[in-house]
Each structure stands twice: as C-alpha cells, then as structure tokens.
C-alpha cells in the first residue's frame, strides 16, 4: 500500500519562517529526506523515531544523483510511510521538484506540495529592500547561475538579464558571476549597477554585502567562499539610503 509524500518548502533555513502546515507535516512524518539547507534547527520539529536522510546537493561536494534521490523517495513511499521531502526556499524554485513528482506519479504515489518563503524574498527582507518599484523596477527575474556541469547555462536571455530596470536574482551563481558580468556589461548593463551578495540567508552566519556588479565579480574571481548565496543586481539592490 502506497504511502503519501509531502513536498515541504522550508524557507531559507530560519525555523520561524516555516508555515504552520510545513511544521505540522514535519512533525507527522515517518521519514524526512532533507536538503542541506533544510537541516539544523528545522529538523527539531521531527519525531524522535523518524528516519532522517540527507539528500542535499552542494557545489564541490559529493552528492547523490537526482535519480537516486527520486528512487529513495519512491521506495520510502511504497512502504506505506508518511514521507516529507524537505526542500529549501520554495520547492518550486530551482529545487528539481518536477523530476521527483514525475517519479512518484509513475509509481502511483500520491503527493502534495506545500509552498514556502522563497530564499530571494527572505534575502530581500533581511536587506530591507523591495523587489519592485513603480516605474523604475516593474519586473523581477530569477535565474540559475549554473547548469548540470557547474558552468554558466547556455541559452540565457541576455537582453532580459542586461535590462537595467529589472531586479535580477541569481541563484547558485557565485562561481559563474564574473563570466556573466562580462557578458552583461558587453550588452550594455552599466558597470556600476548596484549588486547585493546575500550569503547564508536565514542562518546565524548570514552576511549581506552591498557593492556593484563589477566589484562583486572581481571579489568572486578571487574567492567564492563556501556559504550558499544569492546575488541581486538592479536599481533596488543598493537598498534604502538615508
């Protein structure tokens, strides 16, 4: 008899940003398959006898393949267990949600998706910046900074990404940002466009660095560090100044 899978969005890592439904599902689960950024204090909501299985993927570290994660999720569900697949941020944003839903559907396993606070929204709130502004920043765009090989993805809409009136958020892009900036400035994005590096959002070691795209690219050429990060650029990235 098949169990049931809840894709639970944990937000950026601060347990106080969990939704009530997310906390309830974690507390009810027989098994929790969690991402690296969903570990720590969030797992304190789990039952003492629940199986806790780390399946996170981090750049530069040994990680399970996606097909292995999907198979493990199916195998747990087919035992009749109540399973939580705990994903950081919002599960639908760069979280490989579709692959796992497809694997469950193929095996006839029922599931639900519980939304959460996107990491980009949490980072903007932490930095006290809005994502939109009337007239000058009417559009927000999220983009991943690397493909399956770790390089800058091909086929990016460079014209859109070089739009100086948009707020752009780059996920998982520290290693490729210098290359991206070279392309964007060659396509007309001003070199002094404000940028914000938001590292370890929602965690005690959170760090927010306000700079420009060119200065940030130069910094990341020298050292990308190990902290997970988002990069914002555009007219609002500088933040509110007195």
Dihedral sign of CA atoms 207, 210, 215, 216 in order: positive
Quick one: pLDDT band at residue 242, thresholds 50, 70, 90?
very low
User: Is 147 tagged catalytic?
Assistant: no
Measure the N-to-C terminal CA separation of the chain; round to a whole number of Å. 61
Q: Which of 21, 36, 51, 57 is catalytic?
A: 57
pTM here is 0.90
> Are 175 and 149 a contacting pair, CB within 8 Å?
no
Average pLDDT, the chain: 92
Widest CA span in the chain: 61
Distance from the Cα of residue 41 to its chain's centroid = 18
Give the whole-number percent of the chain exceeding pLDDT 90. Answer: 81
Q: Which of 14, 30, 172, 174 is catalytic?
A: 172
User: Is 163 tagged catalytic?
Assistant: no
43-90 residue pLDDT tens? 999 999 999 999 986 555 557 888 999 999 999 999 999 999 999 999
Contacts 24+ apart (CB under 8 A), 183-186: 183/158, 184/158, 184/213, 185/213, 185/214
> Are 114 and 97 a contacting pair, CB within 8 Å?
no
- Tell me, what's the pLDDT at 39? 79
Residues 193-201, mean pLDDT to the nearest whole number = 96
136-153 residue pLDDT tens? 888 999 999 988 788 999
213-222 and 177-186 are packed helices; what angle lies between their axes, rounded to 10 degrees? 150
> Are 7 and 97 a contacting pair, CB within 8 Å?
yes
- Per-domain residue ranges for the chain? 4-117, 120-233
- Residue 9 CB contacts under 8 Å (≥ 6 apart), including other chains: 19, 22, 87, 88, 89, 90, 91, 92, 113, 114, 115, 116, 117
**Superfamily in which the 120-233 domain is placed by CATH:** Tetrapyrrole methylase, C-terminal domain (3.30.950.10)
CATH number of 4-117: 3.40.1010.10
User: Is 35 tagged catalytic?
Assistant: yes
- Integer CA distances (angstroms), 192 to 19, 74, 86, 98, 107, in order: 38, 49, 38, 37, 52
209-240 residue pLDDT tens? 999 999 999 999 999 998 999 999 999 887 75
Q: Which of 14, 30, 35, 163 is catalytic?
A: 35
Buried b (16+ CB within 10 A) or exposed e, 15-41: bebbbeebeebbeebbbbbbbbbbbee
DSSP string, 163-175: -TTEEEEEES-TT
């Amino acid at each position: 008899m098949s169990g049931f899978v809840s894709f639970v969005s944990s937000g950026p890592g601060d347990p106080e940003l969990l939704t009530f439904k997310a906390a309830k599902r974690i507390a009810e689960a027989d098994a929790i398959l969690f991402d690296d950024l969903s570990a720590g204090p969030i797992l304190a909501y789990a039952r003492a006898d629940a199986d806790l299985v780390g399946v996170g993927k981090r750049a530069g570290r040994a990680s399970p393949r996606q097909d292995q994660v999907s198979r493990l999720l199916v195998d747990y569900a087919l035992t009749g267990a109540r399973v939580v697949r705990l994903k950081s941020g919002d599960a639908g944003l760069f979280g490989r949600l579709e692959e796992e839903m497809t694997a469950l559907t193929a095996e006839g396993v029922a599931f639900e998706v519980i939304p959460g606070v996107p990491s980009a929204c949490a980072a903007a709130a932490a930095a006290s910046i809005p994502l939109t502004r009337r007239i000058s920043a009417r559009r927000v765009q999220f983009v991943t900074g690397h493909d399956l090989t770790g390089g800058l993805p091909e086929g990016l809409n460079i014209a859109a990404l070089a739009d100086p009136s948009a707020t752009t958020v780059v996920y998982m892009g520290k290693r490729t940002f210098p290359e991206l900036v070279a392309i964007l400035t060659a396509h007309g994005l001003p070199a002094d466009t404000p940028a914000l590096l938001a590292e370890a959002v929602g965690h005690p070691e959170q760090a927010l660095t306000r700079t420009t795209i060119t200065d940030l690219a130069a910094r990341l050429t020298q050292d990308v560090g190990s902290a997970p990060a988002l990069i914002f650029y555009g007219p609002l990235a500088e933040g509110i100044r007195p």
